[in-house]
Amino acid sequence: MAEVVLKNAVKAYGTHPAVKGINLKIEDKSFVALVGPSGCGKSTTLRMIAGLESISYGEISIGGEVVNDLPSRKRGVSMVFQSYALYPHMTVRKNLSFGLRITGVAKDEIERRVAFAADVLELGPYMDRKPANLSGGQRQRVAMGRAIVREPKVFLFDEPLSNLDAKLRNQMRVEIKKLHQRLHNTIVYVTHDQVEAMTMADVIVIMRDGYIEQVGAPLDVFNRPANKFVAGFIGAPQMNFFDGTVVAGGVTINGFDGIFPIDPARFNLPAVGRPVTIGLRPEDIVPFGHGVQPERPVEFEASVPLSESLGNESILFAETGTVSFAARMQQPRAVAEGEILTFEADTGKIHLFDQDSGSTLRRDPD
Amino acid sequence: MAVDLSTLDYGAIARTEARRNRENKGVFVLMMVLSIAWLAPFYYLIVSVLKSPAEYVASHPLALPSGIMPLFANVTDAWVEARMGFGVLNSLLYGVVGAGVAVFIAIMAAHGLARYRYSGRTFWFMLIFAGTIFPFQMYLIPLFFTYLELGLLDTRIGMILFYTAICIPFPVLVMRNYLTQMSSEMDEAARMDGCSEFRLFFSIILPNCKGPFIALFLLQFTWIWNDLIFSTVLTQRVEVRSVMSTLQVFQGAYADVSQTVVMAASLLASLPTVVLFFVLRRHFMQGLQVSSN
Ligand SMILES: Nc1ncnc2c1ncn2[C@@H]1O[C@H](COP(=O)(O)OP(=O)(O)OP(=O)(O)O)[C@@H](O)[C@H]1O
Ligand SMILES: [Mg+2]
């Protein structure tokens, strides 16, 4: 049993709170990703769990035991650092076994665990090298090996892949996922890369400015963002946001003629004439004939002054009147600068947010 | 658009390159002159120790020697006349213990100053750092009277204490910079691995300071070895004197020794630091750059 529970956890540096009262329950054996923009307190939260930062207020428990006053070595957690933090003067083998040796684990037990980690991470050929003679990806694996041999209840990762190139990052993403499937430890994984969070985690925690904005399964967070911030943070390219107004039977984008019909069973619509923020993802505004035909489309024309071709798809930056937006073009063709295309917006995929608070207007059971 | 290599004006290219080289040549000549000026005293030393006293007087001081055999007589004379045995042993003792202990203490201090956060750590650093900014001669008189009071004057332990103390501040400065640049995540990893603070220092930090340790040891050893003024003032007995103050028997109105013997003694006295430098050269060069992860 190694669930991690944070109750009103606060971290203050002097008078400046970096983590502002977080409540979070991380289930046993789950893979939880903490995401959020730089400086939002992800690392601080992780380091509080690790025991590398004191807990200013509130309570953190691991496996049912309150750990506020336990030193990190007694918490049953291992951490993989962004810089790997390998011991430069030790060989890979020594790096792996160091923690076990100094805590008095029996010799054959050390050998068994080191051999297991070396096997899982395919470190065999490098065991007698020093970290300076390893590639970035190999160092990364040694860092993970060092975490594995301690057989922790909880693995903590702080942006472990951010020093790798894109290709290696994809590869390591898969390896970490496999590791989780094989070892079944609880994993808390900090990243600012939402692709990593979406693809690896069972649960995503989106943080902003020391608070948690939303907790949920990746698709849940993607399809039902709790507020405008989460909607904008998850998904690339970013969701389009429009200033809109409530009209009879739906909403309209200011400066645009069409009406988007809204099912009042799904949204708490403000009174007619009130402002709302409308959100539509680029893949839900489709150039006619390129991509999925929306079920309930609103059709309109827009010019495309700029497009980015990615090969398998293009991102079109389009304008109509005073409204500009990004759209995703599947089965792409070359688009001339300023070309006018017909777009279909999928009203079924629309997101509505309160203009002041940014909270979603979606009714809970969808 | 590929360059058509057959149509390039190679003459013009060569002239441009040559102009660049000429600028370098000026620098080269300057370097040569400086090198010769720098090497001239060494040349004088080498040719002198290879001459017998009679040959030295007869020939021009910079003339080449006729053989190498007088070297042995000169060296033996120097060693016996000045009783250099004591001096060399004492200086070795002072240098190895003084520099070794000083650099070790400096690394401990720098570890505390660079890798822990507490209020007042800048103050403590400035206090230690202050030890490097005053001229050492300033300490001479107070030190003399204090040592007189404490009975440390003219003792080996007094010399070791003094050399150790005076060799601490500069290494603290260097090591603090070095340790500040070392990843603090490594400490955290070690703590999570179960290290106590002492274990962290001895098993993780200290082994990673090998390079700068050697470099600083070498610098401080050389300083102690070459020190004349403190050794002269704080010691009198030949059994306690360092090698440099031992050489002083050759100076002064009553000294009746050939210049060739003096030179041989100087050569002997400077040999250990030179040897040490060559043995540890590789570490010395690498020592002051921070090894990254
Ligand atoms: N030792 C410290 N002293 C003072 N403030 C700190 C300290 N460490 C972090 N902070 C502040 O706490 C806030 C959260 O920092 P944290 O490192 O948790 O951010 P993060 O979400 O991990 O960001 P990033 O994605 O850039 O790593 C930041 O505003 C940061 O400036
Ligand atoms: Mg961080």
A210-268 pLDDT per residue, tens: 999 999 999 999 999 999 999 999 998 999 999 999 998 899 999 888 889 998 889 99
Ligand nearest to the CA of A20: 1
Residues A154 and A218 in one domain: yes
Question: Is the C-beta atom of A39 inside 6 A of ligand 1?
Answer: yes
Domain that holds residue A310: 240-353
Ligand 2 center–CA A64 separation, angstroms? 27
pLDDT at A233: 93
Asked if the model's pLDDT at residue B288 lies above 80, the reply is: no
Q: What is the CATH number of the domain that holds A248?
A: 2.40.50.140
Question: Is the C-beta atom of A322 inside 6 A of ligand 1?
Answer: no
Tell me the mean pLDDT in the region A167-177: 89
Question: Is the C-beta atom of A42 inside 6 A of ligand 1?
Answer: yes
All residues of chain B having their beta carbon less than 8 Å from the beta carbon of residue A14 are none
User: How high is the mean pLDDT of chain B?
Assistant: 87
Question: Is the C-beta atom of A15 inside 6 A of ligand 1?
Answer: no
A35 Cβ neighbours under 8 A, 6+ residues apart:
A42, A190, A191, A192, A193, A194, A197, A204, A205, A206, A207, A233, A234
Question: Is ipTM over 0.85?
Answer: no
Cα diameter, chain A: 76
Residue of A19, A22, A44, A79 best suited for mutating to test ligand 1, as the one with most atoms within 8 Å of CB: A44
Question: Does A349 reside within a domain?
Answer: yes
Separation in Å, CA of A110 to nearest CA in chain B: 14
> Of chain A residues 72-111, which have a CB less than 8 A from chain B?
72-73, 77-79, 81-89, 98-99, 102-103
pLDDT at B291: 46
Per-residue pLDDT tens over the stretch A11-25: 999 899 999 999 999
Contact of B207 with chain A, judged by CB distance below 8 Å, is answered with yes
Tell me the mean pLDDT in the region B144-163: 93
Per-residue pLDDT tens over the stretch B128-143: 888 888 888 888 899 9
Per-residue pLDDT tens over the stretch A339-353: 999 999 998 899 999
Tell me the mean pLDDT in the region B226-243: 89
pLDDT at A48: 95
Judge: B185–A78 Cβ closer than 8 Å, yes or no.
no
Structural domains in chain A (count): 2
Per-residue pLDDT tens over the stretch A122-162: 888 999 999 999 988 899 999 999 999 998 999 999 999 98
Of A176 and B250, the structure prediction assigns the larger pLDDT to: A176
Ligand 2 center–CA A160 separation, angstroms? 10
Judge: A79–B193 Cβ closer than 8 Å, yes or no.
no
Residues A48 and A119 in one domain: yes
Judge: A102–B189 Cβ closer than 8 Å, yes or no.
no
Asked if the model's pLDDT at residue B255 lies above 70, the reply is: no
Last residue of a domain, one of A185, A201, A225: A225
- Residue closest by Cα to atom 11 of ligand 1: A18
Percent of chain B with pLDDT strictly greater than 90: 39
Alpha-carbon gap, residue B222 to B48, rounded angstroms: 24
pLDDT at A243: 94
Ligand 2 center–CA A93 separation, angstroms? 28
Read off the pLDDT band of B19 (50, 70, 90): confident
Strand order in the sheet with A323-330: A285-287, A339-346, A297-309, A313-320, A323-330
Tell me the mean pLDDT in the region A327-356: 92
pLDDT at B17: 82
- Element counts in chain B: helices (H) and strands (E): 14, 0
Ligand 1 atom nearest to CA at A53: 1
| Element housing A240 (H / E) | strand A240-247
Cβ atoms B88, B63 nearer than 8 A: no
- Residue closest by Cα to atom 16 of ligand 1: A41
Last residue of a domain, one of A175, A198, A225: A225
Tell me the mean pLDDT in the region A161-173: 88
Short-list A275, A293, A273, A274, CA closest to A283? A293
Residue of A13, A79, A189, A205 best suited for mutating to test ligand 1, as the one with most atoms within 8 Å of CB: A13
Question: Does A269 reside within a domain?
Answer: yes
Of the partner residues B189, B194, B291, the one whose CB lies closest to the CB of residue A85: B189
pLDDT at B1: 58
Read off the pLDDT band of B211 (50, 70, 90): confident
Ligand 1 center–CA A42 separation, angstroms? 8
Which of B22-36, B144-158, B253-267 is predicted with the least confidence, judged by mean pLDDT?
B253-267
Residues A42 and A191 in one domain: yes
Contact of B116 with chain A, judged by CB distance below 8 Å, is answered with no
Read off the pLDDT band of A121 (50, 70, 90): confident
Question: Is the C-beta atom of A41 inside 6 A of ligand 1?
Answer: yes
Residues A256 and A159 in one domain: no
pLDDT at B261: 86
pLDDT at A365: 57
Residues A185 and A262 in one domain: no
Q: How many CA within 13 A on the CB side of residue A301?
A: 4
All residues of chain A having their beta carbon less than 8 Å from the beta carbon of residue B116 are none
Q: What is the CATH number of the domain that holds A147?
A: 3.40.50.300
Question: Does A311 reside within a domain?
Answer: yes
B73 Cβ neighbours under 8 A, 6+ residues apart:
B52
Asked if the model's pLDDT at residue B293 lies above 50, the reply is: no
pLDDT at B254: 59
Tell me the mean pLDDT in the region B218-228: 92
Four-way CATH pick for B90-241: 1.10.10.60, 3.40.50.2000, 1.10.3720.10, 1.10.10.410: 1.10.3720.10
Strand order in the sheet with A250-253: A259-261, A250-253, A240-247, A275-280, A351-354
Question: Is the C-beta atom of A192 inside 6 A of ligand 1?
Answer: yes
Per-residue pLDDT tens over the stretch B61-81: 888 888 888 888 888 888 888
Question: Does A125 reside within a domain?
Answer: yes
Read off the pLDDT band of B253 (50, 70, 90): low
Q: How far is CA A22 from CA A206, A217, B89, in A?
A: 12, 18, 67
Asked if the model's pLDDT at residue A31 lies above 60, the reply is: yes
Asked if the model's pLDDT at residue B21 lies above 80, the reply is: no
Residue type, A258: G
Question: Does A45 reside within a domain?
Answer: yes
A347, two tokens: 């009203």
Percent of chain A with pLDDT strictly greater than 70: 99
Per-residue pLDDT tens over the stretch A269-314: 999 999 999 999 999 999 998 878 888 888 999 999 999 999 899 9
Ligand nearest to the CA of A45: 1
Nearest CA in chain A to B290: A88
User: Cα torsion at A282, A284, A287, A292 (round to 10°)?
Assistant: 130
Q: How many CB pairs under 8 A join A and B?
A: 68
pLDDT at B289: 57
Question: Is the C-beta atom of A38 inside 6 A of ligand 1?
Answer: yes
